[in-house]
Amino acid sequence: MTVLRESPWYQEILQEGVARGIQQERRGSLERILKLRFSEIPSEISVSIQSLTLEQLEELMATALTVNSLDEFSQNLPN
C-alpha cells in the first residue's frame, strides 16, 4: 500500500480529486451567496456555475458580494 501511495500516478489522481472537491465547494459557496443576497437564483445561472473553473468561481464570488442584482451578476458570467 505504501508503494502505491508513493507512486506519481496515485499522487496525480489524489490531486485531481482534491481539486474537484475544492471546485465543488466553491460552486456551492457561490450559489449560497447568491441565494442569501437575492433569494432564488434562476436555473440558467446555476447551470452556468456548474461549468466554471476554480479561478472563475473565485472571481465570481467577489462579484456576487458586490453586484446589486442577479442581472448584473449574470453579465459577469463567462460565455
pLDDT digits (tens, 9 = 90+) for 13-46: 889 999 999 999 999 999 999 999 999 999 999 9
* Residue 57 pLDDT greater than 90, yes or no: yes
The whole-number pLDDT of residue 37 equals 96
Query: CA nearest 67: which of 33, 29, 25, 23?
Result: 33
Residue with cell 463567462: 78
* Residue 9 pLDDT greater than 90, yes or no: no
The whole-number pLDDT of residue 63 equals 97
Say what the alpha-carbon torsion angle 70, 71, 74, 75 is, to the nearest 10 degrees. -140
The whole-number pLDDT of residue 35 equals 97
Query: CA nearest 46: which of 60, 67, 65?
Result: 60
pTM across the whole model:
0.84
